Chains A and B, each alone.
Chain A
Amino acid sequence: MDTDTLALPRTHYLNAEFGLASWLLTTDHKRIGLLFLGSISMFFVLGGIFAGMIRLELLTPPGDLVSDDTYNKLFTMHGIVMIFMFLIPSIPSVMGNFFVPIMIGARDLAFPRLNLLSWYIFMIGGCFTLYAIVTGGVDTGWTFYTPFSTMASTSNVMAAAVGIFIMGFSSILTGLNFIVTIHTMRAPGMTWFRMPLFLWAMYATSLINVLGTPVLAITIVSVALERAFHLGIFDPAYGGDPLLFQHLFWFYSHPAVYIMILPSMGIVSELIAAFSRKNIFGYTFVAFSSLAIAVFGFLVWGHHMFVAGMSVYGAMIFSVLSFLVAVPSAVKVFNWTATLYKGSVSYQTPMLYALGFIGLFTIGGLTGLFLASLGIDVHVTDTYFVVAHFHYIMVGGALMGYLGGLHYWWPKMTGRMYPDLWGRVAAVVTFLGFNLTFFPQFILGYLGMPRRYHAYPPEFQALNVLSTAGASVMGIGYLMPAIYLFWSLKYGPIAGPNPWGAKGLEWTTPSPPPTFNFDETPVVTEPAYAYDTVEKKLA
């Protein structure tokens, strides 16, 4: 398949049409993927700025850089922007949109116009949230706990709630589109068990999107109604229960963590197979563990509320279910590790991200056991231990996977290669900076530093200084890809259809792909990752 078509001028999805309208009115899933890439990258920068200010404030114990109200708005908006506007849409909306149809050999998603609509909905919701930010911000924490959010907060809760509500429909529509596409649009011969694992992960993620997001939507609507019309659904003065809000909120927001991590796991499965040139070890186990995580993910929301006044027995049930989620996660990690065995491992940039992911996700997952364990959770919940744990999952896991996928598919999306050496340096810098930022926070958390604190007792300073230092290293690690990826758009060498020598339908079509992905519908005759059928070619 390595025929180079680069000498010939060729029509592909990027040069098929020109002009702003051709982008804003496109129904091509690949262009929509790029629209999402642009939007969420902006939001990522915004969320990163908030994070940087938080870390700067925490460099010294007293609250001296910004006022307490400002600090509260900073961590709230960091959370809202990074979770709802970056992580939840990130991999599904960018790589999912771009590659789900290509990987199953379809010409597009099942509902292309709905797909474009989901981008518009996302942007409208994003505008509401941005409006909330520029007109004074929100200070409820991204969790919007009642009664603070419904009665006490004087900030712009309404606009933010409306924004999140609207953006929710974007992820519902994206998820719906993927499920229908995977069910009905597979190419001839593409059976369920020939699908790349990324698609299994996307399928599981989409299930959560479709079944979880509406619950958040109704919860946010209830908060908004309570603020606007004094309906008393969560108001203790009327006999309402603030804990009901927490149950409804976490019923979505715990699965939301799996919306962030499952796609990354899918990408890591692709990367490990491609850069070991080997069939993934235990394909069916990895595939079904994605579904298992999606299903169990809906049954563990109560572990966020062990100290919030649940019954002892309720807490025990949620605790044991939370431990069960660890099993499919462990299965994945071991299978990825076993895939390397007798592989042909190369250390190109995407692979470094994938290996980094495994390490960080392992730590993140294991610290999750601490929080699932009732006795320890009472002490560490609402402390920096939790902050460190979910950053290991969401940043060390989800974001590393996202960047790995971006580097892996960048030549396919743009037709250009980036400098691999710089890529590897950036991956290592990110990995080191990340650990320096968040590992000290585990220690801080066990010491008892509560989260969301604008000022803290002086004995916590040393660890906070380490953390802030790490954050600046991590910032450099994120800046580098931005620079060389932009550079590669113009100056990067032509990539060719399959620069990595990887398997999968997306590598059988030219880079960048034509508008309808394939010049003729592919027929699938072999399982995914069938590397052992490749003839050995020597350079």
Chain B
Amino acid sequence: MPELPLFPTQASTMAGKVDALYFFLVSVSAFFVVLVAALIIFFAIRYRRRAHGEVGAKVIPSLALELTWTIIPLGLGLVMFFWGANVYFVESRPPAETLDIYVVGKQWMWRFQHLDGQREINELHVPVGRAVRLTGTSEDVIHSFFVPAFRMKADIIPGRYTTLWFNATKTGRYHLFCAEYCGTRHSGMIGTIVVMEPSEYQAWLAGGGGEGSLVSQGQKLFQDLACITCHRADGEGRGPILDGVYGSKVDLVDGRIVVADDAYIRESVLSPSAKVVAGFQPIMPTFQGLVSEEQLLSLIEYVKSLKGRELNTTKK
């Protein structure tokens, strides 16, 4: 006899919040289902047809009643909305201090990239009790990163970065599913989130990362692709200086002002002339097809590091 679980484990700080709302909705729903069913059964039996030609009695419709059952569902709906929106707001706002990890989805695997350089496929090791922020993109079609035990899901979309975050509260191994249909082996695009004690996690970190940290990989790439010839740190190059650019406001040729975030840097590499910085010519070639999503991530991480911030943390 197979096991019969009825409720998922709660393994993140969000899980309890989502479940509380869920139980509230379950009770409201159960109340109304029972109410409607009981009334129907009661009326159907009490007023069953007793004679062949019988017709129903005349019942005067009541405006008060109509308004009651319009306004009460409306009120309940608004309560559910505010509560749900509140939970969603927390879900979509990562805390200030996070452990950053990058995710790349492709048919049909999950690839993870730690800042220290470790790479993982279909398995993600994280410490317990620490907010983890994942930044994800896809190499081909839309995927969706879904960890039921954390009540966490977000679509991973080609051409843009999605961020999601969680804070695991229990050590253990949890299912990771792809929740957006992505082709043949969609149901095989599954993995495991391994939540470990911080000490174990440190030990695990020490055991990997053969290629150096992500920043150093990005730095190497920056030289290999000859980005360094134009984006010189002394300001003598034909391209803008990148030191301190990450997170700052950038003036463009066409008068717009944009914030230099991950998406902007990605776009500047793949489609350089789309947003040209004021005072420069659109002479940068496109690197579309020359850099992989993972290499782009390392470049972004390198540009971030030029702000001279500590690694592994993001300050809002």
Contact = CB atoms under 8 A, between A and B. Distances in A.
Contact of B91 (A242, A277, A375, A457): A375
Contacts of B188: 68, 455
A96 to B, nearest CB: 27
Contacts of B4: 462-463
Contact of A309 (B2, B50, B160): B160
Interface stretch (B173-181, B219-227, B248-256, B304-312): B173-181
A340 B47 contact: yes
Contact of B2 (A315, A344, A459, A536): A459
A341 B59 contact: yes
Interface in A248-286: 276-279, 281-283, 285
B48 A347 contact: yes
B53 A536 contact: yes
A373 interface: yes
A114 interface: no
B70 A331 contact: yes
A306 B144 CA distance: 12
B61 A282 contact: yes
Contact of B69 (A330, A366, A448): A330
Given A326-B73, A331-B69, A538-B53, A308 B155 contact: yes
B203 interface: no
Interface string B41-66: 00110011111111111110100011
Contacts of B53: 501, 534, 536-539
B1 to A, nearest CB: 8
Give the one of A338, A379, A539 with max B CB within 10 A: A379
Given A455-B187, A462-B2, A370 B158 contact: no
A327 B178 contact: no
A233 interface: no
B51 A338 contact: no
A147 to B, nearest CB: 5
Interface residues of B, number: 91
A382 B179 contact: yes
B54 A344 contact: yes
A153 B37 contact: no
Contacts of B59: 278-279, 281, 338, 341-342
A383 interface: yes
B230 interface: no
Interface stretch (A197-205, A207-215, A355-363): A355-363
**Max chain A Cβ within 10 angstroms of own Cβ: one of B36, B55, B69, B159:** B55
A237 B29 CA distance: 45
Interface in A469-523: 501
A458 B3 CA distance: 8
A193 interface: no
Contacts of A382: 144, 146, 153, 179-180
A309 B161 CA distance: 9
Size category, A interface? 35 or more
B187 A334 contact: no
Interface string B254-289: 000000000000000001001000000000000010
B47 A319 contact: no
B84 interface: yes
Contact of A312 (B61, B88, B159, B175): B88
B153 A323 contact: no
Interface string A218-257: 0000000000000000001101011100000000000000
A447 interface: yes
Interface in A435-459: 443, 446-448, 450-459
Nearest to A63: B187
A191 interface: no
Interface string B129-163: 00000000000111010101101111101111010
Interface in A285-332: 285, 306-309, 312, 315-316, 319-320, 323-324, 326-327, 330-331
Given A382-B179, A447-B5, A453-B186, A307 B66 contact: no
A148 B56 contact: no
A344 B55 contact: yes
Nearest to A280: B61
A343 B274 contact: no
Interface string B11-54: 00000011001100100110011001101100110011111111
Interface of B: 1-8, 17-18, 21-22, 25, 28-29, 32-33, 36-37, 39-40, 43-44, 47-59, 61, 65-66, 69-70, 73-74, 77-78, 80-81, 83-89, 91-92, 107, 140-142, 144, 146, 148-149, 151-155, 157-160, 162, 175, 177-188, 190, 271, 274, 288
Given A279-B59, A448-B149, 13 more contacts: A239-B271, A312-B88, A324-B77, A335-B66, A341-B43, A347-B44, A359-B33, A359-B40, A370-B22, A379-B151, A450-B146, A452-B187, A538-B51
Per CB-CB distance, the 5 closest pairs between chain A and chain B, nearest first, are A448-B148, A375-B87, A278-B56, A236-B159, A373-B84
